[in-house]
Chain A
Amino acid sequence: MKVDHPLHRALGLTDEELDRIRATLGRDPNRIELAMYAAMWSEHCSYKSSKVHLRTLPTEGPQVLVGPGQDAGAVDIGDGLAAVFKMESHSHPSAVEPYQGAATGVGGIVRDIVSMGARPMALLDPLRFGPLTEERNRLLFAGVVAGIGGYGNCIGVPTVGGEIQFAEPHSANPTVNVMCVGVAPADRLVTAAPDVPEGSMLLLIGAATGRDGIGGVSVLASRTIEEDAAVSRPSVQIGDPFAGKLLIETCLELVEGGLLLGLQDLGGAGLTCAASESAARAGMGAELDLDAVPLREAGLEAFEILTSESQERMLAVVDPARLDEVHGVCSKWGLSSAVVGWLVDGGRLIVRMGGAVVADVPARSLADDGPAYERPMEPPRGRHEILEDDPTFAMVDSDPREAFLAVLSSPNVASKQWAFEQYDQLVQGATVARPGSDAAVIRVEGTLRALALSCDGSGRFGHLDPYLGAAHAVAEASRNVAVMGATPLAITNCLNFGNPERPEVMWQFAESIRGMADACRSFGTPVTGGNVSFYNESGGSAIWPTPIIGMLGLIEDYRLLVRPGFPGPGFLVYLVGETFPELGGSEFAEVVLGTVSGHPPALDLAREASLHRMLVEGSRGDLLASAHDCSEGGLAVALAESALAGDTGFAVSLPGDEPWYVALFSESASRAVVSVAPENAEALESLASAHHLPLSRLGETGGPGMVVDSLLEITVEEARSAHESAIPKLLAG
């Protein structure tokens, strides 16, 4: 080993981490062992920078069946059923190769759900790109959307949503997250079984192993991507959705037949990760025979077989007595299956190739005993200046109509149908509310229950104040399911940040965790798992702190779900909640005033929770004719979206005595726009007062126009054109 270029550093391990490996082994690791540690102790696999913070998140509740630490979390949704869900990032591969990066992200998260024994029922893809005025951003956006569709549409899992936003800091580093939700009988969940006997077989099912994706976790996901991204391209995996679909059916048939003792996806760090985790979870060791691994090409070296991230592979733990049956199911679906090892007592992971032992390490040291760092933290300089420069008190001389159209057609607010239409939203026949609703709703077969799903993240708010940004993200995600009548149950998350070795980034991370934890405690929505994606930066410039919340809500009877669109003329329109002069970090401030600054809106967590309860109660009593979250773009956008969704105009007066641009565009929290039939007005008023929520009657629905006092009048059709054509126009260049 040369002293000036030591192998461990090239693999991403520090000198201290090498010392730690030496102490664990009592000797120097060989290069194969070093490659295994480098993969498993990478930021991506070990969460070494984030662990100490993640431990502060609330993870328990009566609804939680499986918390963090497994392939996916699971919650009780009644009737003996469990909803299994998880979110992950595939941002780094997508920046290098958008189509395959996004496609394999979908494949990976779906296998996480399958490995819990659940049938994947829905996908959501929260995305962040730089402005579409730049050609590279247009190519990334189009490539990522096509990749999501290209994989998701071929495996029979509907893609039902995912918030899409645009901001300059995501130009060099797009954020590509994907959430998958599945359902399984609660008593059939495949979780870590401590009573797996010695001699249980490790069976590799699915695609052959090739050289693709080697170093994916250590090269791509755990470092910043610098200019010459093309050299990283061989580290991107290539997806085969047809094989992915066969793998789903095979694994579910194996689980339903009770043929498996354990099941694990081969994702980041490949076989090393799956084998060491399978062994460590069983409290055992394992022997691996690399000569038995089906290879795509001859001549792969041991470290390549051990760390390849070839897609569409799963590792099953199988009782030797059931092996023939398992092989039979695999061959029915045309998939190869090979015994590549077995569990042994003693806790060591022993790898053989060509008759020789090529690696011999404690399985736990790879899977569980990675390093944990308390990295230094420091608020970014200039933070107070940005906060104090609050646009709420700026001089505004805009024309209300122009401001309204500018906000409605800004890419963050505008219709994302161009993207959603490229996703199969309908397969499985369970999609009750499609993309474009506050939350996607999928019903659970054989019951009247439905799951409401929403992904929300902080953009500008998180940039200005990471604590509030994360808390707002949880609040908005909860509100989005509550307006449809769903009780918020639990969250998963994907935490997208810059380089954790920079104190400002680490501070943003810690603040975001604090905000998320406080909000989750207030709403009773524990965190069941998630993913951390660091190193989203280039040239020292990081993405905005982007914690994305994946909320799962439960509707008891999907026939009572409430939709955002005004149902027709003659309904009374109300604003629930209160509008404060809070334009800091608003869409209006960025689009019309040209500034991203000021204090984000305050968030009263208790009031927010009351709003959720009121909305759910309102839906159960069949009281609300429509309900829509009021957030980005303020009251103006909430009213417009309700009108567009219902193809029904409205005439309203602005409540309070704030200036028109505050009343229309302030993004104060804990608000919703609802409509009720006139005979239900009193019931709504008493419901709001029972929950101590302010309620203002704004006006009523009807007519072809959107009319706000004498300030603004615009036809629904003109508004629709602005809302729907904005993104296609930008993409046309």
Chain B
Amino acid sequence: MSAGTPRVGVVTFPGSLDDRDALRAVALMGGDGVPLWHGDRDLRGVDAVILPGGFSYGDYLRTGALARFAPIMEEVRAFAGRGGPVVGICNGFQILCEAGLLSGALIRNRQLRFVCRFVDVRVETSLSTLTEGLVPGEVLRIPVKHGEGQFVARPDELARIEAEALVTFRYCGPGGELDDEHNVNGSAGWIAGIRSPQGNVVGLMPHPEHAVDPDVGPTGGQPLFASLLTYALARV
């Protein structure tokens, strides 16, 4: 590993499922993936943290509701407070919302069924750890796979999210169009992912770690990981 390789930690909670996939994606994109354990109070000096997809603690109470109390989350919160890049994917997004690091909440899909599908998402801002260097309006093909991915927020909160341009990704058609057909889970404002006001914390329902390897499928996740690694590298 060269000195300039960013180290990206991936937290495994009991019930995390896409943790190994996130580590593999980091490695494929040239980073150094570092497994982190929910029960530890140690981020092992990483330059960025990913909270992966899955069903932490079975999601039996409410998605992400228990994981936010895990010991490692105190460290993640402090890391984010220092401006460290933190990305929550799917269940990780739900955990960030429960932990108050991002606004809004994720509830059952409008159609009340789990959905696994490659969808198009539109980049809305370049002011985030995942989208630095991307052009707003760019459309990326990335899969979703979730039963509870419908983004909701109180009307005033939603207005603030829009006003502060915190929306990072929206579900869209292949040409970037926003129509009902392409709102895969009925999210408010087609919202697929949002950021913190500083942009260092990002949560999204789509799974960029499942869209980096051309041998397996579309590669819409590549620019997102490239951005994360660049952002993390700046901190090395």
Contact = CB atoms under 8 A, between A and B. Distances in A.
A426 B14 contact: no
B21 A427 contact: yes
Given A153-B55, A421-B114, 14 more contacts: A149-B114, A150-B114, A154-B17, A156-B18, A242-B15, A245-B15, A245-B17, A421-B115, A421-B117, A422-B114, A423-B116, A427-B18, A427-B21, A429-B210
Max count, chain A CB within 10 A of own CB: residue among B59, B115, B145, B215: B145
6 contacts: A241-B55, A245-B55, A428-B21, A431-B216, A443-B216, A559-B215
Contacts of A421: 113-117
Interface of B: 14-15, 17-18, 20-21, 24-25, 53-55, 57-60, 113-117, 143, 145, 147, 207, 209-210, 213, 215-217
A150 B108 CA distance: 13
Interface in A387-435: 420-432
B186 to A, nearest CB: 15
Given A334-B14, A421-B116, A242 B145 contact: no
A506 interface: no
Contact of B58 (A240, A420, A422, A559): A240
Contacts of B145: 153, 424-427
A146 interface: yes
A-B residue pairs, 8 tightest by C-beta = A242-B58, A156-B17, A429-B21, A154-B55, A422-B114, A426-B210, A424-B145, A149-B114
Given A242-B55, A333-B14, A153 B210 contact: no
A610 B58 CA distance: 49
Nearest to B20: A428
B122 to A, nearest CB: 21
Interface in A153-193: 153-156
A432 B215 contact: yes
Contacts of A155: 17
A429 B55 contact: no
A329 to B, nearest CB: 14
Contacts of B115: 421-422
Nearest to A429: B21
B58 A429 contact: no
A558 interface: yes
Contacts of A425: 116, 145
Contact of A242 (B14, B114, B210, B216): B14
A424 B59 CA distance: 16
A429 B143 CA distance: 12
Contacts of B210: 426-427, 429
A686 B102 CA distance: 63
Interface in A214-272: 240-243, 245-246
B113 A146 contact: yes
B215 A424 contact: no
A424 to B, nearest CB: 5
Max count, chain B CB within 10 A of own CB: residue among A149, A424, A429: A429
Nearest to B21: A429
Interface string A549-560: 000000000110
A661 B133 CA distance: 58
B1 to A, nearest CB: 19
Interface residues of A, number: 31
A430 B216 CA distance: 7
Contact of B213 (A245, A334, A429): A429
A422 B113 contact: yes
A486 to B, nearest CB: 16
A29 B54 CA distance: 49
B207 A426 contact: yes
B114 A153 contact: yes
B58 A154 contact: yes
B209 A429 contact: yes
A164 to B, nearest CB: 16
Max count, chain A CB within 10 A of own CB: residue among B117, B143, B216: B216
Interface in A69-103: none
Contacts of B60: 242
A443 B21 contact: no
A18 B115 CA distance: 51
Interface in A576-617: none
A9 B215 CA distance: 58
Interface string A562-588: 000000000000000000000000000
A235 to B, nearest CB: 24
A202 to B, nearest CB: 26
Nearest to A333: B14
Max count, chain B CB within 10 A of own CB: residue among A149, A427, A443: A427
A156 B116 contact: no
B91 to A, nearest CB: 10
Contacts of A154: 15, 17, 55, 58-59
Nearest to A242: B58
Given A153-B145, A153-B147, A429 B114 contact: no
B162 to A, nearest CB: 30
Contacts of B20: 428-429
Interface in A120-157: 146, 149-150, 153-156
Nearest to A142: B113
Contacts of B17: 154-156, 245, 424, 427
Max count, chain B CB within 10 A of own CB: residue among A242, A243, A420, A559: A242
A240 B15 CA distance: 12
A426 B143 contact: yes
A416 to B, nearest CB: 13
A430 B115 CA distance: 19
Nearest to A245: B15
Contacts of A242: 14-15, 55, 57-60
Contacts of A429: 20-21, 24-25, 209-210, 213, 216
Nearest to B213: A429
A432 B216 contact: yes
A431 B213 CA distance: 11
A559 B215 CA distance: 7
Contacts of B53: 427
Nearest to A335: B14
